[in-house]
Structure 1
Amino acid sequence: MTAPDLSLWAAARRRLWGDRGARLSLAVLALIALACLVGPVLTGHSYERISYDYPRTPPSLQVYPRPETIGPALERLALRMRVRIEDVTVGADALRLTLAADGPVDDRVLTFFARSDLFGPAAVLGRAEDGRRLTVRVPLRETRFLLGTDAIGRDLLTRVLVAGRVSLALGVLATGVALLIGVAYGAAAGTLGGAADAAMMRLVDILYALPFVFFVILLVVVFGRSLALVFVAVGAVEWLDMARIVRGEALAIRRQDYVRAAEALGVGTGAILRRHVIPNALGPVLAYGALLVPRVILLESFLSFLGLGVQEPMTSWGVLIAEGARSIESAPWMLLAPALALVATLLALTALAERLRAALDPRG
C-alpha cells in the first residue's frame, strides 16, 4: 500500500519510468543528443571543409581514394602542374611516380599534391641530371564518407550532426523562452481576472492574427538573416498557446478553496501565483512543453527550407533538407540522411510528450 502515499510528482515519475515506450524514447533522444555533441569530433572531417575531389560522393564503408579515381586525379594535377606523369606505381598507402617536362621541373609544383584531397605532401626520391625528370613518393590521404558528401564535397555525416546541435539547441532554448513568457503571462491573466484578463488576452488574439511568415520576412528585411533572428521569430509566437493553456488552468485553480482561503488571509497576488497557481499548473505545462520542442524544431526547419532561417556556413536539419530536395535525383542520400535524423527526433519527442502527459494525469 505504498502507492497512495506517493506524491503526484513521485507517482508520475514512477509511471513514466515504468513505461517501456517512454524509456525507449528517452534512449533514442539521449543517443541523438550524444551523437550530435561528440560525433563531429570523431568523424575526422570539419563540417565546413570542402573536398573538391569528392562532390556528391555516395555513402560507402570503403576507404577513399579508390584505385579507379587515382588516374583521373593525377591527370588533373598534371595539367595544373604543366608536367607529364609517368611510371606510376600504386602501393598500399602511397604512389611512386615520375614527373617529366620539356624544361627543368620546379620543386614548388609538388605543393599541388598536398592541396589535393586524395594525396599528401610529396617527397623527392630522385632527380635527373638535367632536372627534366623528378621521381617522387606521394602518400595517399585515406578517408571515409559514411553518409556521402554534398554537392560541393562536404562530409554529410558531420554536417548532419552539427545541424542536429543547432536544431536541438534552438528547439530547447525557444521552448524554454516560450514556457517562461507563456506561464508568467497566462498565470497573471488568469489570476487577475476581470478587465486585466480581458485586455491581456485581447493582446494575445492580436498577435495570433499576425501572419507568421510575413513577420519573419519583415525581421529579415530589417535585421538580416541570422540564427538569433530565428530564435526571436520562433519565441515571439510560440508562447501564445502556452499563455492560453496556463490562463485556463489559472482560472480553474483560482476557484479552489485553498486559493480563496489564501485570499481571505490577505496573501498578495504575487504570492498566490508563486505558491499555488504556477506549481499546480506545471503538469499540463510540462506535457505541452515536451510537445513544443518538436514543433519548434519543425518550425525552424520550415523557415530554413524557405531560406529564412540558418545561413551558411552554419547549418541545420532544415537547411540540409532544402539542399537535399534540390539534388534528390542525382544525390538522394543528401535528403535521406537529414530527413531520417529529423523524423527520428520528432517521433521520439512526440512519443515522450504523450507518455509524460499520461504520467502526469492524476486519473491515470
Structure 2
Amino acid sequence: MSASLTALARRRLARDRGAVAALVALVATALACLIGPFLTGHAPERIYPDFVRTTPSLSAHPTPDEIRPALDRLAQRMRVTLEDVRREGGQVRLTLNAQKPIDPRNLVLLPRSDLFGPATVIERSPDGRRLVVEAPLRRLHFLLGTDMLGRDLLTRCLVAGRVSLLIGLVATLVALSLGVTYGAVSGLVGGGLDALMMRVVDILYALPFVFFVIVLLVFFRAGLWLVLVAVAAVEWLDMARIVRTQTMSLKSRDFFRAAYALGSDTGAVLVRHAVPNTLGPIIAAATLLVPRVILLESFLSFLGLGVQEPATSWGVLIAEGARALEAAPWMLAAPAGFLVVTLMALNRLGDGLSDALDPRL
C-alpha cells in the first residue's frame, strides 16, 4: 500500500472510537502482563500455606482472625504453649510457655511463615520456660485471591497472559505468512496448480489434530514450543482458503487486467494488487485467529499436551478454576476475565481494521 493509503487507513481507524478503545485495552493488557508481575509483590511460584484459597479482597493480610490460628500452628511446631497474644499496631507480642526451657532458635519459624517477620525476645524467665516475644506483621495483598496451593492469582494471571499472548501472536503470524502466500499464489495462478494445492490443503484438513500433536510428542517434549509448532502447522489452512477465494474474485476485476496489460508479472500483481486488496478479510480473520489459538492451547494444556508446570497460561488457569468452581469460583473468574476482555478487544479491533483497510472505501 502507498503511504497515502496507509495514512488514510490510519485516520479511518482513529475515527472509530470503539476500535481505538479496543486497541488501548489490548495495549494495557499486554503491558500489565509484561510489567505487572514485578509490581504485585509476589513471585508466581511462591506458595503461601497460610493463605490457601483466600478470597479476593482489597484488605491486607493477615486479618485479626487469621493471626491466632497461624500462631497456634507455629506454637505446636515449636512445642510450646501460646499463653497470650497482643497486637500493637504493626507488631504482635506473644507470651510462650513450655515444660522445658525454650530454645530461642525455634523462633526462626516465625519469619519462615507468611505472616510474621524476625522475632525479638523481649522478656525471658530465669528458668527459660517462659518467653515474651515481639515480631512484626507482614502486609500481604491478594487482590484476586489465591489458588488451591496458596499462590497469588493476580500474579499468575499476568504471567499466564505472557504465554497465552505469545502463543496467539506467534502462531497467528506464522499462519498469516503461510496462509496468505499459499492462498494468494493458488488463487492467482489457477488451473491445475490451484487444484493440486487445494488437494494438499484438503489432505491436511483430514488429519486429526490431536493425533498430529501425539506424533509430535514422539520427537519433542510437551511444552510451549510444541504448542507453537502444532498450532501454526494447522491454523494456516483456513487463512489459505480465505485468501484464495478473495484472490479468485479479484482476478476478473479491471485493475487486474490493466496491471497485466501494462506488463506486470505475476509476482508484482501478487504483491501490489492481490494481497493489499484482501487485507480487510485477512485482518478480520487474523483477529479471530488469535483467540482461537489461545483456546486451542487451553485444550492442549487441559489434556496435558501443552504448557507444563511451572509455566502456566490462561487456558491452564481456567482448567484449574473449572475443577475448583464450587470451592473457589474466583479461580475461574479471574483468568476468564482476562481472556474475555482480550477476545472482545481483538474482535472489536478486527472490525475496525477491516473497515479501515478496505480499499473499496
TM-score, normalised via structure 1 length: 0.91
Aligned partner of 2:323 in structure 1 is 326
* Counterpart-to-counterpart distance in 2, 1:363 and 1:83: 81
* Counterpart-to-counterpart distance in 2, 1:227 and 1:202: 30
| Structural mapping, 1:43-192, within 5 Å | 43-192=40-189
Contact map agreement 1:305 1:319 (CA 8 A) in 2: yes
CA-CA distance at 1:309 after TM superposition: 2.0
Deviates more, 1:250-259 or 1:208-217: 250-259
What are the superposed Cα offsets for residues 114-167 of structure 1, whole Å, 9 maximum, x if unpaired? 110111111222333333233221111111111110011001111111111211
Equivalent of residue 216 in structure 1, options 213, 216, 235: 213
AA matched with 1:140: L
1:283 matched to 2:243: no
Q: What percent identity do the matched residue pairs reach?
A: 64
AA matched with 2:42: H
1:226 matched to 2:232: no
CA-CA distance at 1:334 after TM superposition: 0.7
Contact map agreement 1:36 1:164 (CA 8 A) in 2: yes
What are the superposed Cα offsets for residues 18-43 of structure 1, whole Å, 9 maximum, x if unpaired? 11211221222222222222211111
Question: Aligned residues, how many?
Answer: 360
Aligned partner of 1:33 in structure 2 is 30
Deviates more, 1:250-259 or 1:215-224: 250-259
Contact map agreement 2:277 2:358 (CA 8 A) in 1: no
Aligned partner of 1:236 in structure 2 is 233
1:301 matched to 2:305: no
* Counterpart-to-counterpart distance in 2, 1:63 and 1:346: 32
What are the superposed Cα offsets for residues 201-225 of structure 1, whole Å, 9 maximum, x if unpaired? 1111111111223322333454232
CA-CA distance at 1:327 after TM superposition: 0.8
Aligned partner of 2:195 in structure 1 is 198
CA-CA distance at 1:323 after TM superposition: 0.7
Gap runs ≥5 in structure 1: 1-5
What are the superposed Cα offsets for residues 256-291 of structure 1, whole Å, 9 maximum, x if unpaired? 555556656765544443344334433332232222
1:312 matched to 2:303: no
SS in structure 2 at match of 1:48: coil
Contact map agreement 1:97 1:137 (CA 8 A) in 2: yes
* Counterpart-to-counterpart distance in 2, 1:23 and 1:270: 35
Deviates more, 1:146-155 or 1:161-170: 161-170
SS in structure 2 at match of 1:141: coil
1:94/1:341 CA distance change after superposition, 3 Å? same
Deviates more, 1:251-260 or 1:220-229: 251-260
* Counterpart-to-counterpart distance in 2, 1:361 and 1:268: 24
Deviates more, 1:273-282 or 1:202-211: 273-282
Contact map agreement 1:305 1:321 (CA 8 A) in 2: no
Gap runs ≥5 in structure 2: none
* Counterpart-to-counterpart distance in 1, 2:260 and 2:312: 52
RMSD of aligned Cα (Å): 2.3
* Counterpart-to-counterpart distance in 1, 2:272 and 2:13: 26
* Counterpart-to-counterpart distance in 1, 2:15 and 2:312: 37
TM-score, normalised via structure 2 length: 0.91
Deviates more, 1:244-253 or 1:173-182: 244-253
